[in-house]
Every structure is written in structure tokens, then in C-alpha cells.
A and B are shown apart, each in its own frame.
Chain A
Amino acid sequence: MKITKQIVEKHGLKIEEYANIKKLLKREPNLLELGIFSAMWNEHCSYKSSRKHLKNLPTTGKQVIQGPGENAGVIDIGGDDAIIFKIESHNHPSYIEPYQGAATGVGGILRDVFTMGARPIALLNSIHFGSPDHSKTKSLLNGVVSGIGGYGNCIGIPTVAGETKFNSTYNENILVNAMAVGHAKKDKIFYSKAKGLNKSVVYVGSKTGRDGIHGASMASAEFDENSEEKKPTVQVGDPFTEKLLMEACLELMKDNSIISIQDMGAAGLTSSSVEMASKGELGIELYLDKVPCREENMTPYEMMLSESQERMLIILEDGKEEHAKNIFKKWDLDFVVIGKTTNTNKLTLKYNNKIEGEIPIDSLASKAPMYDRKWIKKKLPKSKIDFKSLKKVKIKDALIKILSSANHSNKSWITSQYDQMVMCDTVQKSGADAALIRIHGQEKIIAVSVDSSANYCKAHPITGGKQIVCENWRNLVSVGAKPMAITNCLNFGNPEDPKIMGEFAECLIGIKESCEFLNYPVVSGNVSFYNGTNKKNISPTPVIGGIGLIQNLKKPMNHQFKKGNNNILVIGKTFGHLEQSVFFEEIYSILDGQPPEINLINEKNNGESVLEIIKNDLAESVHDVSSGGLLIALAEMSIGSNFGVKINKPKKLTNLFKYFFGEDQSRYILEINRENMKKVEEILKNNNIFYENIGLTQKDYFEVEKEMKINIKELYKINNQWYNNY
């Protein structure tokens, strides 16, 4: 079959890229080869637009065992233990079929983690929907949440944290990012690099079907005369099979049978085999007639490009085939030797003993395109808000409006659909600043949280990028954990638009700055471009997933008030930054001006001091101050506890709205027992930390002196009704 310009375009390749392919091959590719190039050279696999910028991120540190480049990042948490984690997007499939899209997103990220030898111990998710009154939002929300739950619950890994946001920027393009965290022994980590010649390449897991063959769905009509039906591009998840696959892999990993292992994610068999060979600087030969197929008459093209879920590729040590096969048989899974490693540095595809395709590995990997796309800087926006011209509101009404809004309502409607306790190591569930997971059978605890702030990133990407890393860091600090490292999922619009590329480049500059300063390296991540429709791109939405460590937990720290008559300290200065705030957005529908700036020195000092206070068991509860500002944070500490607050009227800032709703960064609220005040103040003074004592906790009422008073049961109700009424 002749490759026409049309076929090339249908494979998402540019004409120049196709010319490059011919140069690398020194001939024209056939359709199978073209399909393979298209899979490996697309944005998702090649990172062609992002690689240049990603290189700048800090990825090393004493705690890092494996940075980006493997299936997931690996960090050292002391002793023999390692934590393996990564986040990934499944945005487009989730928009088309929310249940299956979200479910397979969870399945995919879990495989990335257990491929490396980790038993997954926690799942997180960051989900962004369009405006609640958009006609699709409700069913997307329902579908995504039950899909995430459906997969995680079934496989038996607790979903313990996440974030859920609504914003019209996602009306036509929701975001579904899933993060998985696993635990492994340091000396039992598995990598994808192939080693040795003539080793068996083994296919395990589900059978291959015609799922998700993208370019294929159109081009295939020309070579497959009897298939008029449109092929499905959305995969159906099978968490049951994934559970079996996970157990079987972990069982096989107990001894030394595996040289290299790689899950079949995007571009399935193609990317997994190429990646193994490329890392090992070897060739790989596959006998496609051996591939277990679900449908009849599948072509090599379809087999190589299928994105069927729940499959893995393994390279085995000599003589281990029987042993491995028995394990997979025990779990009722397919196990077939489908190829071997070679010294040709080529991907060689045979079908019925005939070579159907042969491609130099480097042309698919290291020689894949990399672009230095044009990008433009964003100026710091100037606010045009004239505060005085705005309609007056009462503080209490503003508080109620925000607490009852879609974005700030309690998320238990969502989180109660997730099994948060299975595995019996969830020390702290959803609802806190970060969830806490115990390392099984030990005293060590890890803290996990995911965060994003698209409004800030949109307004000024550098500041926004900086801010999310800090916010994530703060969430871990608030539960008393030492922040260790992050993963990131970079959700952006069309990178061919210099404005969007600028958002990307600048967010990364910001992320880099914070990560470097806080010694909070990036060990894994994922880039998702082309979020949006032709003209309308989503707001830049990098999502940060962080891991923190508590070596020795005395008592779990959370944000709920514990007792009456305790002091309330605010760590960090309140200036009253209202531009880009929730207050302006929710009360006046204004999104304007610049995001709050971050002083990284203060960020670090404040955080470390809070950690010191928690470590010395001097705080009763801790909460970071984030979107919504001080008053919202205080309300969150009251809601669900039996105690409210009595806040003194602030002495310095005269504008109460600025004081209570300003979103100045690097702040925490601490509940401190009077007996501990002296010790706490000593720590704060020693560390040169700015703090204010703003009032006391009290039973039943949430009160601001001379301004407002409300029963906390009422606050609870206000905060817990949105989802149930939606």
C-alpha cells in the first residue's frame, strides 16, 4: 500500500516529520511502520514540545532513587523502604466516556507503579469540571467519580485524597488526573531497561483487542475491506484482571526472574518494546502471530497500536519461563513468549515468519523529534478593580456564599464513594490537608496531597507555578510531614500557540524555582497538551502531587479544632491580597489582577517552624491558609469539629475583607493550648517568624468580634449541601 499525504496526516504526522522518517529509514515506511512512528512520535510518547523545558526541572536530591524517565519516580524514605509514585492524565477519554475514561486512567497509573515492584498503597486524583450549570457537567461528575471509585475500590487500593474544581474553562475539556503511590523495598525495584541477548520477551495480562487504535480507525478502512464499523477509541477497564495482573507480577518479583518489565500504556506493545530496547541499547524481535488476541483476524498494525488495558511486557532471565508461566497460570492470565532481544538495535516485527516491519530503535526514541516551540512571556497583569465601586456585602454573607459554593463545599459526596480504608493503613482520610498512609507493619507514615490553581497560573504563570508547589508543600507540612518530592501533571492547551507554550514554559520556571529552593525535586510526571477546542484552550493547570514523610508518628495531625479556649495563631504575614481571590470570584464574579507573590524564604522558614512545633507536640491542630483566605480556613477548622472560634477584630488592616479573605501565601493557622504558648512563641521568635495571636477557640460558635456569629452546626450544613442539591 502506498503511503499518501493523506494517510500521513491521518496519523497525526507533519509532512516534514514524514520526510524525516524516510531519511531515518532510508526508504519509505510501510503502513505498519508508519503507524509505529506515529505512535512513538506523537506528543504523548515523545514529549516533543515539552522535553526542552522539562529538562530544567530539578530532579535530584539525596532522597531521590529514580527521577523522571522510568515508569514512575522512586524516593528513599529510610531503612529498606522506597516510595514509588506518579501522576497521569486521562482527560480526553474521560470527556467522551467519563466512567471508563476515569477508570482506565486509574488502571494505567497503577500499572506504572506496580511495574516497578511497588505494591500500590494509595490513590489520589485531581478532577476539573466545567461550570456546574453547563449541561454536561453533572453527568461527567457522576461518571468520573464512579469510574475512579469503581476501579480503585475493586482492585482494593484506597483512594485517599484529591481535589475537585469547577470552572467554565473546562466546559469542553475536563481534566482527570490520577496519581498512584506504592511501596517497595529499595533492593527490589524493577526497571524497564533490557539487558542481554536472546532473552525471552514475554507478554502477560489481558488479550489484545482493537481498543484505542487512533490513526488506525480511519486508515484501516483502506486495508481492511470487511470492517465498516467504527472502531472504539475508548477502552473499557477491567479492574478485576488488573488485580490479578498486579498480584501475579508482585509474586514473580519476589525472586530474580525479571530482567526488565514495562507496562503497555499508551501505544501499547509498540512503546513498551521500544522503550525496553532503547534503554538497553538492544534490538527486539517480536513474533506477532503469538500475541494473544481477543478478536479474530487482527492485523500486525492493530496489534502493535492497540491500547488494550491490563497488559505487561517482561524480559525474563534464561530458564525462568516455566516458573513465571506457572505464576501467571495460577492467576488465570495469558503468558506467552512473543519475542527475544537481539543485537540489531532494531525493532523487528515478524508475522508467520515474514518480516512485516523493521525500524531502527533510535529513530523511534532518541531521534524522535524535539521542538523548541515559540513562546511568549506574560506580563504581570494590572488590576482594574475599584474596590469602592463594588456593591457592599456583609462578611457573614460572603463567608456563607463561599462555603456553600461548588468549589468550596465539603467533598464527602465524592469521597464516600471511594474505599478509603481498604488495606487498613489509612491513618488519615480525605478531608484533611493531606492524607496519611502507614507503611504496612511499620511506624513510618507518608503524607500525600495533590494541588493546582489554574486561576493563578492563568493570571501569571511564573507566580502560579511557584505557588502550587508551595501550596502542596504546605499541605504536607500541615500534617507534620517532611515534604520529600513531587510528581506533576501538566495540563495545558495547544502548544503550537505561542501564548499557550508561554504559559507552559513559565509555569515550569515557577515550579523549578520553588522545587529548587525547597529541596522538593520532581521525580516523575506527565504532560497533557491540546486540552481545549480549536479556539479555546483551558487555563494552564499544572497539578502537583507531593509525598511527605513522618518517621515516627505520635498522633496524627489534622485541621480540626480540638478544644475550647485554645489560642489561635496565624503564622505568616497577612497583607490582604485580593486580586485573583476566591472572594472576588465568588462574590463579584471578578477574576482580575495578579496572583499573590511568594517569598520563598518566608515559605521555607514558616513551614519548617510549623514542623518543629508539630514535632514537639505543641500544636492541637494545624491548617494552611489557601484559597478563600483566613476566614475560610478558620471555618474549615470548625466544620466537623465541636469547636468554633472567637476572633478579635484585627488591629492593623482596616479593610476587613482584605484581612479575612486575602490570599497571601505561606500562612498557617495553629491551635495552641495555652500551656504550650510559651514554648511555641519561643520557637517562632528563635526562627524570626512573623505571627499573630488572633483569638480563641470556643464551643459551638464561629464568631468575629462585633462582626458576625454563627453556630458551627449551621456552618456545617451550609458547607455540606451543595453536592446533595446538585
Chain B
Amino acid sequence: MNSSVIVFPGSNCDRDIAVALEKMQFKNQMVWHKETKLPKSDLIVVPGGFSYGDYLRSGAIAGKSLIINEVIKAANEGCLVLGICNGFQILTETGLLKGALLRNKNLKFINKDINIKVINNDTKFSNKYKKDQILKINIAHNEGNYITNPNHLKELINENLIAFKYCDKDGKINESCNPNGSVENIAGIFNSKKNILGMMPHPERMVDNLISNTDGVNLFSSLLK
């Protein structure tokens, strides 16, 4: 499977995702944001980090880059697109995913391992997970507080477009295990065609037992199928 990782100035999880993809046997290429063409890819990853320093709004400026037009085109043609953390923020800024990510409710950068629950495992991104499976996964962000309008929220729920929700270690979903204030404890969402996934947690950080765990592995192996 061919993957492309888009690199913006200020991306800083680009190497991490590349390492994870290669470990999972993807044939990966890095694509610099000034390029005007994407290599042939089955999966495009918009990685985490601080594109353009997160200046103005996180993701806003990357959302206006040249390459992003190609990403939009490919996504509309059905290519799989994964946005992680800053990548998620960028995808919302481009409109590929609806809603927006606001400052964490405690107004602080948060880095810690949290739990998320797999809400929809019937997608190209999540079929190797069990439904309601609880993952332990790392988050690291300033602006992960997902918000959207009531209609879209209804759509997310009714069409099963919520990918992951923050939960406690027993799987309970409530305000006390919501790290950033996201509506409905949302940690990740799909677009309506389910070929685009945006998520705040970092699956690429969870593919190596020495540094964490392997709870992120199945996301990548789902894609390989």
C-alpha cells in the first residue's frame, strides 16, 4: 500500500508517522507542502505538529497551502486521508471535515496517555479493532476541543461517524475523562463517506512496546487490508 505524508513547515510528527507506516510495511513517501502534485497514494496522512507555528489558528495557514488542494481533490476521489492532531485541525480548516477545534477547556497544552473507545469499527480505518474496544493512547495538543453545529452533531451520531470517544479506563464516557472539553467526548470523526479520519490522539506513538504500547497498530493494519 502506498502512503504519502504531507510535510508542512512546522510539522513535527512527520518522522514519527513515517516510522510507524514503514514499520507496518506501507511504501511511504514524504511530500513537501510546496509540491503541486501528489505521488500515487492509497493513503494520505496529514501529520501532527505545529504547522506554521499554530500561529493565527492551528491548522489555518496550512489549510491554505498549495498541496492541500491536491489533498482535497484526492479525498473527493475517494483516497483515504488520515489527519492526526494538527492534521485533524488542518482537515477541519480545509472543510474536508466539519466542525472546528478550539482551545482545550483548561487552556493548557495537554500531553498524557488517555483512554479512547472505538465507536465505529466498520470502516477502512478501524476494522481490526473490536467495537467498544478501549485503547490507551497519547494526546499532545493545545487545541483539541472539538465543536460542531447541532445538525452536524446529529449527523455524526445518526450516521455513525464518530470514530473514537474519550473514556475512562473502564470505558465509561463522561465529563471527568474528557481531557479537552470536546462535545460528546469526541476524539476522532469520519466524513460522511468514511474515507477521511481526523483524530486528536496519536496512533503513531503507540506502535512500540518499549516506548508505550501497541494500541495504535490496528489502525494501520486495518488500512492494509
Where the two chains meet, the residues of A that have a C-beta atom closer than 8 Å to any C-beta of B are 146, 149-150, 153-156, 238-241, 243-244, 330-332, 412, 415-427, 438, 553, 556
Q: Are A423's CB and B16's CB within 8 A?
A: yes
Residue of B nearest to A416 (CB): B112
Partner of B50, one of A156, A330, A418, A424: A156
Q: Which of B38-46, B68-76, B152-160, B204-212 contacts A (4 or more CB under 8 A)?
A: B204-212
Is B10 an interface position by the 8 A CB rule? yes
The contact of A422 among B13, B32, B112, B142, by CB within 8 Å, is B13
- A153 and B50 in contact (CB under 8 A), knowing A417-B111, A424-B205? yes
Which B72-117 residues have a C-beta within 8 angstroms of A?
A: 108-112
| B15 CB-CB contact with A under 8 Å | yes
CB–CB A421/B109 < 8 A = no
Docked Cα-Cα span, A672 to B123, in Å, equals 47
Residues of B within 8 A of A423 (CB): 15-16
CA of A415 to CA of B109, assembled, Å = 10
A153 surroundings in chain B (CB, below 8 A): 50, 109, 111, 140, 142
- Residue pair B108, A421 in contact (C-beta under 8 Å): no
Residues of A with C-beta under 8 A to B205: 421, 424
Given A153-B140, A421-B111, A424-B205, check contact A238 B53 (CB 8 Å): yes
**In the complex, what's the smallest C-beta–C-beta distance from B84 to chain A, in angstroms?**
12
Given known A416-B110, A422-B140, A424-B208, contact A156–B13 (CB-CB < 8 A):
yes
| Contact B12 A424, beta carbon cutoff 8 Å | no
Q: Which of B12, B110, B212 contacts A417 (CB 8 A)?
A: B110
Closest to A150 in B: B109
Report chain A residues within 8 Å CB of B210.
Answer: 427, 438, 553, 556
Q: Which residue of A lies closest to B12 (CB)?
A: A156
Give chain A residues whose Cβ lies under 8 Å from the Cβ of B108.
146, 416-417
Contacts A417-B109, A417-B111 hold; do A425 and B50 have CB atoms under 8 A apart? no
Q: Is B224 an interface residue, CB under 8 A from the partner?
A: no
Judged by a CB distance under 8 angstroms, whether B49 is at the interface is: yes
Please give the distance in Å from B132's CB to the nearest CB on chain A.
25
A421's partner among B15, B110, B212 (CB-CB below 8 A) is B212
* B4 on interface, CB distance cutoff 8 Å: no
Q: Which residues of A contact B204 (CB under 8 A)?
A: 424
**Shortest Cβ distance from B20 into A: residue:** A424
A156-B12, A419-B140, A553-B210 given; name 19 further pairs at CB < 8 Å: A150-B109, A154-B53, A155-B12, A239-B53, A240-B55, A241-B53, A243-B50, A244-B9, A416-B112, A417-B110, A421-B111, A421-B138, A421-B212, A423-B16, A424-B15, A424-B16, A424-B205, A424-B211, A427-B210
Mark each residue of chain B from 182 to 217: 1 if its CB lies under 8 Å from any CB of chain A, else 0: 000000000000000000001011001011100000
Q: Please give, as numbers and ranges, the residues of chain B lying within 8 Å of A416 by CB-CB distance.
A: 108, 110-112
- Residues from chain B with Cβ under 8 Å of A155 in the complex: 12, 50
Residue in A closest to B14 when the chains form the complex, CB atoms: A156
Contact with B109, one of A149, A241, A244, A427 (Cβ below 8 angstroms):
A149
Contacts of A419 in B (CB 8 A): 109, 111, 140
A211 to chain B, nearest CB (A): 18
CA distance A426 to B113 in the complex (A): 13
Q: List the B side residues contacting A417 at CB < 8 Å.
A: 108-111
CA distance A239 to B12 in the complex (A): 12
Residues of B within 8 A of A420 (CB): 111
Q: How far is the CB of B13 from chain A (nearest CB, A)?
A: 6
Q: A243-B9, A243-B12 are in contact. Are A154 and B50 (CB under 8 A)?
A: yes
- List, in ascending order, chain A residues with CB within 8 A of B50's CB: 153-156, 239-240, 243
Which A residues touch B16, using CB under 8 A?
422-424
* Chain B residues with CB under 8 A of A427: 210-211
**Alpha-carbon distance between A420 and B112 when the two chains are bound, in angstroms:** 9
Pairs across A and B, CB under 8 Å, 13 listed: A149-B109, A154-B12, A154-B53, A240-B9, A243-B10, A243-B50, A418-B111, A419-B140, A420-B111, A424-B205, A424-B208, A426-B211, A427-B211
CB pair A156 B211 closer than 8 Å? no
**A238-B53, A438-B210 known; A146+B109 contact, CB < 8 A:** yes
Given contacts A149-B109, A154-B10, contact A240 B52 (CB under 8 A): yes
In Å, the complex CA distance between A362 and B70 comes to: 57
Contact of A240 among B10, B34, B110, B112 (CB under 8 A): B10
Q: Complex formed: what's the CA distance from A447 to B15 in Å?
A: 22
**In the complex, B19 has a CB within 8 A of chain A:** yes
Residues of A within 8 A of B208 (CB): 424
> What's the Cα separation between A330 and B34 when bound, in Å?
9
Instruction: Give which listed residue, B20, B53, B140, B211, contacts A438 with CB less than 8 A.
Output: B211
Residue B175 CB within 8 A of the other chain: no
CB-CB < 8 A to A240: which residues of B? 9-10, 50, 52-53, 55
Q: Mark B111-129, 1 if CB is under 8 A from A, else 0.
A: 1100000000000000000
Could you give, for residues 1-38 of chain B, a 1 whenever the CB lies within 8 Å of some chain A CB and a 0 otherwise?
Answer: 00000000110110110011000000000001010000
* B112 to A: closest C-beta gap in Å: 5
Would you give the shortest CB distance from A148 to chain B, in whole angstroms? 11
Tell me the complex Cα distance, A156–B85, Å. 13
Chain A residue with Cβ nearest B212:
A421
* Least Cβ–Cβ distance between B113 and chain A, in angstroms: 9
Report Cα–Cα, A146/B106, bound state, in Å.
13
How far apart sit A450 and B97, CA to CA, in the bound complex (Å)?
Answer: 44
The interface residues of chain B lying within 8 Å CB-to-CB of A241 are 53
CA distance A241 to B9 in the complex (A): 9
Q: CA of A416 to CA of B10 in the docked complex: distance in angstroms?
A: 21
Q: Which residues of B contact A154 (CB under 8 A)?
A: 10, 12, 50, 53-54
